[in-house]
Structure 1
Amino acid sequence: MRKTILFYCLCLPMLYFSQVGIGTTNPQAVLHVDGAKDNAVTGAPTAAQEANDFVVTAAGNVGIGNASPQRSLDVDAKNQSLRIRNLIRQVPSSFDILTRDLATSDVVATSYSYTEAVTVAAGASATVTVPSTVNIATGLFIVKSTNGCARAMITTFVYNGLSLGYVSGVARDKIGNPTIAPIAPSANTSGTWSVVFPNVTNCADGGTGTQFDFTVMKATTDSYTITNNGNVSKTYQLTVSRL
């Protein structure tokens, strides 16, 4: 009987406060592990003391080196790197990177690039709209295509809002020749770039020296209209990438 009473007496504080302390008799959260067992018996731990603590709050927030986590996972890295082992390695066409806000230390997923392929018949046009969630207001815009001779064309632009600037273009050994058309006063678009690649080798798919020629412009800040000025259908891979 005495053992039963003692057991309930020991459990009552835990049931009353609904907090579990490991290495500490003064838990600050639902679960509080004091790794170094250096916390004071009363009051909140100091910054030095909580540096070795692990807590889980009633809201489900987890703190590592932080006894008052404000996010689902709130880690004080102590000015060191974080280590994650054995991550799967893959490079999808569109992916995010993690960035940290210098003011709040919040870590968020940030779009690094977005790629979409579109097939355009000779003399036709197509428009690709970058999803608003990608949110790359300034960056690189890259147009890529191949032909029946297994040769590739790569043309690069820089952009900022509706401004679109040509950087370079090459179709294997042929250098792109760019021109830009004036913007109509009533138009709310970028300038229209036409790029030609003179003397490209004819291929078995019927492509002639015009096969890689194209025109591109930004119809809006998030969309690109490309026109195939060649003589055969082309599949273009359009990529926006963060600078």
Structure 2
Amino acid sequence: MEHRAPNSKVMCSMLFMGLFSTTTPSSNRISARLSTFWFKVWALLIPVVVSVLGLVGFLLTNQNIFFITGMEYVLAESLMIVIPLILLSFMIKDSLTLLYATSMSVQADLMVKVVGSQWYWNYEISDIEEVAFTSYMKSCDDLMVGEVRFLEVDNRLVLPVMMKVQLNITSSDVIHSFALPSLGVKADATAGILNVVSMTINKIGTHYGQCSEICGMNHSYMPIVVEGSVFISFYYWIVSHF
């Protein structure tokens, strides 16, 4: 099969400054926080740069440079500790809030166990039927028309929309990272540790992700494809495939 360039819409949405279309409450919150992130960066950067340049200018133009001692020295050191802490707290507040919201355990309608291995994903669903399967990246020769090169898999994970899904993420060997930007999901897969992520897919559609932790030679060949569908289609997928 002829090698084709990756889908431009998918690749553009993976740029550093861009976002996937948001389809879960957590990804909506991330998008909202990101819209104010750069405002906060400039709000902090401008005063810091002006202060540093002002101090440098003062030291270069003032011939009577003096040194502070005693209590003034203690006060200066205290300010150098307290002010950066305040600035960092201002920056990380939103991140900590989002991290708590996504990792908080909720009453889930469906539980999916995700196990990362070199270099594929294992999925297990046991709430409705005993379902277990592996997901490998499709080779270029096996791609169908419309499928994305290096992002398509042989077995997609199908999940119902408008249902609370809990992902229990772990690994069978080295550290992996289960990342689905459009769903606001990113969690390390570590052997012996179970990372819990909750999400609710709001829209029908296909969501692409990848392992975002360097896990060996074929790290870049561990794509993730999650397909959001109505519950009837989800149940039919389970019955017909397993």
Quick check: TM above 0.5?
Answer: no
Q: What is the TM-score normalised by the length of structure 1?
A: 0.23
From the CA coordinates, give the structure whose radius of gyration is larger.
1
Higher relative contact order (CA 8 A, sep 6+): 2
The answer to which structure has the higher helix fraction is: 2
Q: What is the TM-score normalised by the length of structure 2?
A: 0.24
